[in-house]
Amino acid sequence: MTKTNISGYTYGTAQVSRSSLEMKDLENLKKAVIFGAEDEKYLRMAGDVLADQIEDVLDLWYGFVGSHPHLVYYFTDGKGNANSDYLVAVRKRFGQWILDTCNRPYDQAWLDYAHEIGLRHHRTKKNKTDGINSVPNIDYRYMVAFIYPITATIKPFLAKKGHSPEDVEKMHQSWFKSVVMQVALWSAPYVKDGDF
User: Domain residue spans in the chain?
Assistant: 23-190
**Quick one: pLDDT at residue 192?**
94
Confidence band, pLDDT 50/70/90 cuts, at residue 1? low
The dihedrals phi and psi of 35, each to the nearest 5 degrees, come to -100, 120
In this structure, the number of other CB atoms found within 10 A of the CB of residue 194 comes to 5
Identity of the amino acid at 174 = S
Angle between helix 37-50 and helix 84-103 axes, rounded to 10 deg: 130
Please state, in angstroms and rounded to a whole number, the distance separating the CA atoms of residues 5 and 131: 17
CATH of domain 23-190: 1.10.490.10
Confidence band, pLDDT 50/70/90 cuts, at residue 133? very high
Whether the pLDDT of residue 4 is over 80: the answer is: no
Instruction: State the chain's mean pLDDT as an integer.
Output: 96
Q: Which of 70, 63, 67 is nearest to 91 (CA)?
A: 63
Confidence band, pLDDT 50/70/90 cuts, at residue 5? confident
Whether the pLDDT of residue 46 is over 70: the answer is: yes
Please classify residue 46 by burial: count the beta carbons closer than 10 Å to its beta carbon, then call 0-12 exposed, 13-18 middle and 19+ buried: buried
